[in-house]
Amino acid sequence: KGRAEFSYCYATSDDFKGKPADTYKKAQIMKTVYHHGKGACPQGSSRDYEFSVYIPSTLGSDVSTIFAQWHGMPDRTLVQTPQGEVKTLTVDEFIELDKSTIFKKNIGHEKKVKLDKQGNPVKDKQGNPVYVAGKANGWLVEQGGYPPLAFGFSGGWFYIKANSDRRWLTDKDDRCNANVERTQIMKPVTSEYKASTIAYKMPFADFPKDCWITFRIHIDWTVYGKEAETIVKPGMLDVQMDYRDKGKKVSKHIVDNEKILIGRNDKDGYYFKFGIYRVGNSTKPVCYNLANYSER
């Protein structure tokens, strides 16, 4: 597998108690079950995060992995019609659209019943029809983009990367994304709507191994202008890195209250997850440890 991650944002059956019977089914279709639970940080707010990582000296310098990342919470009721109109559907309007459309990532396709070799409809174990995507039908849906913040290793570097997207409906064709090896610290790579900033990087060889490292992060998420697609207020990022070297505590203030564009112009906010997210097509085994996550 390419990834094994834990997400802090999740919902349980208790979160749907007392709600209309079809609320959970609709949330499944809209891929918003986790919006009903806990762990989301509201759009444009501030939050403190903490977690620890243990990188063994056996991990190769050619590793390409993200070990912690923050994600936006795209609203799939935000769509672009085949006529090019960007609009927000009601929940019931989206459920109706789902009857005729399958979205592969952000692109809508005709929803067709899957047929077997004899031309008969294929059904699942519950007896429901199985659907497949036909040709693109012109619909687009809000599907998200690059994580607004990521900690990882790439190209022989440890890096912290912040991304920003002020577009109300994300343009997936805009691949603005800072290259860790070539981009200078705190020099954002920009396009019309996006910015990608390497907030910090360190040669992999210098990253402490065989010890627990605790990161303490404070984020003021950028405030966006919603449909106006403006930056109302830039964000701020602060990162502390603590560990013990030969019995002595080492504290490094690696990102010092830097003004930065960080976030997404979504209605909802952000959530954290960590683990192993192996980048690219590598099949090389990756192993390290993570623990002690908290936020406030």
What is the Cα–Cα distance from 174 to 35, expressed in whole angstroms? 26
Prediction pTM value = 0.94
| pLDDT tens readout for residues 232-244 | 999 999 999 999 9
Give me the pLDDT at residue 283, please: 80
Average pLDDT of the chain, as a whole number: 96
Contact in structure between 60 and 295 (CB atoms under 8 Å)? no
Which domains are delineated in the chain? 3-75+145-295 (2.60.120.200), 78-141 (3.10.540.20)
Average pLDDT in the 213-227 region? 98
Provide mean pLDDT across the span 205-212. 98
147-165 per-position pLDDT tens digit: 999 999 999 999 999 999 9
The pLDDT value recorded for residue 83 is: 98
Q: Is the pLDDT of residue 205 over 90?
A: yes
Instruction: Using the predicted structure, report yes or no on whether residue 282 has a pLDDT greater than 80.
Output: no
Q: Does the pLDDT at position 33 exceed 90?
A: yes
